[in-house]
Amino acid sequence: MTDAPGTAEGGCRCERVRFRLSGPPIFTGACHCRGCQRMSSS
């Protein structure tokens, strides 16, 4: 997920949501799409 120091890329497993960040994250979250729910048994 990490590109270079201070930047990160990520997204949902289904790839419908993608993002790129610079700087330290303020918080982390979880995707709530059906595929990720099934993958994590939530």
In a domain, 1, yes or no: no
In a domain, 32, yes or no: yes
Task: Of 30, 3, 2, give the one whose Cα is nearest residue 17.
Answer: 30
In a domain, 2, yes or no: no
Give the number of C-alpha atoms closer than 13 A to the C-alpha of residue 17, restricted to the C-beta side: 10
- Domain holding 12, by residue range, is 7-40
Category of 36 on φ-ψ map: left (φ > 0), alpha (ψ -120 to 50) or beta:
alpha
Return the pLDDT at 1. 46
In a domain, 18, yes or no: yes
In a domain, 21, yes or no: yes
Return the pLDDT at 18. 93
Contact residues for 36 (Cβ-Cβ < 8 A; gap 6+)? 12, 13, 14, 30, 42
- The total of structural domains in the chain comes to 1
In this predicted model, what pLDDT tens digit does every residue of 1-41 receive, in sequence order?
Answer: 444 567 888 888 888 899 888 887 777 777 788 888 887 77
Give the number of C-alpha atoms closer than 13 A to the C-alpha of residue 16, restricted to the C-beta side: 7
